Amino acid sequence: MKRVSLILLLLGITASIIAQNVPQEVYSKVFNPAFSKNYAKTSVIITGEFFSPKAPTYVVYPTKLKNYVKFQCVDVGEQGKSDQLSGEAKGEVFCIDKSKSDIIFSLKKGDLVKITGKTYTVSYSGNFSFDSVYFIVSNIEKIDDAIEK
């Protein structure tokens, strides 16, 4: 029993050390295409506001994101950006593994969230060029806005 307790204690300490090594970044910087590729291989933590448990439906998502649950968040204090095609308000697209997605369906618009993950940037070119930045979530948690403000 003592060995099990010791192992659990060591695992907890190791997890907390690993968590401390994940840098906190500015939300808008992570989604800026000039910087987004820098966050593709290293996890970062960002703080945002939950926007919607759904992603825009008219978007064709990359095959890599096929098996993820997609949802939207915005930077703290933002109301969403107007989509040029549909006119609807939207946030950035976040992708989370189905096994970790239960929290998405309990969040409400405007809830503050702390999100850990990496970016996935897709560059398109043709008549016009643009980058689409997605955030692949490894962990998301609701945070008390009284603590953060």
Helix and strand totals (H; E) in the chain = 4, 7
pLDDT at res. 98? 93
Q: How do residues 1-42 score in pLDDT, each as one tens digit? A: 555 454 544 455 445 445 558 899 999 999 998 999 999 999
Does residue 52 contact residue 146 with C-beta atoms inside 8 Å?
no
Beta 68-74 vs 92-97: how paired, if at all? antiparallel
Residue length, the chain?
149
Q: How do residues 89-120 score in pLDDT, each as one tens digit? A: 789 999 999 999 999 999 999 999 999 999 99
Please say if the pLDDT value at position 67 is more than 70: yes
Does residue 115 contact residue 73 with C-beta atoms inside 8 Å?
yes
Q: Which residue has the higher pLDDT, 2 or 43?
A: 43
- Residue 105: CB partners within 8 Å, gap ≥ 6? 53
CATH code, residues 23-148: 2.40.50.140
